[in-house]
Amino acid sequence: MIVGVPREIYPGERRVALVPMVVPSLLKAGFEVVVEAGAGREAGYPDVHYIEKGAKVLAERAGVFATVDIIVQILCYGSNDVTGKADLSLFRPGQILIGFLRPLGSLEMLQELADTKVTSFSVELVPRTTRAQSMDALSSMATICGYKAVLIAADRLPRIFPMLTTAAGTITPARVFVIGAGVVGLQAIATARRLGAVASAYDLRPAAKEQVQSLGGRFVELPIEAKDAEDARGYARPQDESFYQRQRELLGRVVRESDVVITAAVIPGKKSPVLVTEEMVRGMAPGSVILDLAAERGGNCELTHTGQTIVEHGVTIIGAINMASGVPYHASQMYARNITAFLLHLAKDGRLNLNLEDEIIRETLVTRDGEIVNQRVREFFSLSALVTQSSA
């Protein structure tokens, strides 16, 4: 069982899928680890550190793919829609791929991946259960994004975050409003509070109130109730347009009174709901900042431009994507621990055991033997049910 770590090729990506500190655990479990030269350099992990921990370093990317049984990446083809296609010709039938695949994104890209006959696992689909918590890379990266979002917003805001009492008078604290109190939103609240801001948050899921308050934030309650607010995985369910229209009307006052608005309302596989309209932006004070963490799926702000920072009506609107790459050292470390836990779960008695009766394996397996085999993915794209799914 040889695990390969190719260099990430998405433009601007600085993370690496495995870091040197996890290599001994994998070696002890019977894996070998092969790393493409320079794969960890931009994250702060030079080749020599991998070698010291017992990994092998190969100069050529093609050599890594040709040598290993398992490829671990961060942005695989699917989530890497810019340069990821170059890897398709390097896969071998039966080779295992683990990483972010964006399984509810493009059916065409998933089918292209399936056509290579690679056995792929999508870390986005790791069940939200206690048993799988150590493998939850999506939450790990969301934590990094929530932290980084506040730092970027603070840098662009022409005010300081904390209250200061000085000889020049008292400076009032900045007001940060977070829309969407999932993992990313909660980390944004925590970071804003650490910097001294007054933080408030809104989420359509009632369970979020206690979590927001536990971090010292104020929970904004609106006199509307969502129907089936969250699914079995704990994610917000999409609502009808009449709900979102009423929601925007009620959120308008809070948005106008905020110095920073961070939006993080994302529904897996769906376009992000518009929660901040141009009218709301127009009502904000000049110099205010909106950071839209839902930009990759269209954005929660009506004026967001994916991947761009613009100024409209005196308000800076940041549509940043791939934000976790901005903290590559610890983002890589957290991701590597998640992937290591997943690999150790796959390995039983020194060999891989793809037991489809195991919920974690079954729910994360996306392609196998030339087919898209994940039931949730097939239902999402309205594909007919597969006749059988045998375990290995």
For residue 364, give both structure tokens.
Answer: 């994360």
CA distances from 323 to 15, 20, 87 (A): 11, 23, 23
Report how far residue 346's alpha carbon sits from residue 3's, in angstroms, rounded to the nearest whole number: 12
Query: 334: Cβ–Cβ under 8 A, 6 or more apart, which residues?
Result: 137, 140, 141, 143, 144
Catalytic: 45? Answer: no
CB 255 within 8 A of CB 282: no
For residue 58, give both structure tokens.
Answer: 């190969």
For residue 182, give both structure tokens.
Answer: 């999932």
Selection from 65, 136, 74, 128 nearest residue 100 by Cα:
74
Compute the residue count for the chain.
Answer: 392
DSSP 157-197: SSS-SS-EEETTEEEPPPEEEEE--SHHHHHHHHHHHHTT-
Q: Which of 235, 246, 256, 378 is catalytic?
A: 235
Half-sphere exposure of 61 toward its Cβ, with a 13 Å CA cutoff? 14
Query: 342: Cβ–Cβ under 8 A, 6 or more apart, which residues?
Result: 98, 121, 123, 126, 135, 360, 364
Catalytic: 235? Answer: yes
Strand partners, 71: 4, 97
Catalytic: 136? Answer: yes
Q: Which of 139, 156, 193, 218 is catalytic?
A: 139
Q: Which of 92, 128, 131, 233 is catalytic?
A: 128
Rg of the Cα trace of the chain? 22
Catalytic: 133? Answer: yes
Selection from 209, 166, 168 nearest residue 185 by Cα:
209
Report how far residue 39's alpha carbon sits from residue 23's, in angstroms, rounded to the nearest whole number: 14
Classify the phi-psi angles of 233: left when phi > 0, otherwise alpha if psi is within -120 to 50, otherwise beta: alpha
Q: Which of 136, 203, 259, 292 is catalytic?
A: 136
How many helices (H) and strands (E) would you count in the chain?
12, 19
Amino acid at 116: T
Query: 303: Cβ–Cβ under 8 A, 6 or more apart, which residues?
Result: 278, 281, 310, 312, 317
Q: Which of 133, 214, 245, 391 is catalytic?
A: 133
Stated as kind and residue range, the H or E segment containing 344 is helix 328-346
Q: Show which residues are catalytic.
A: 128, 133, 136, 139, 235
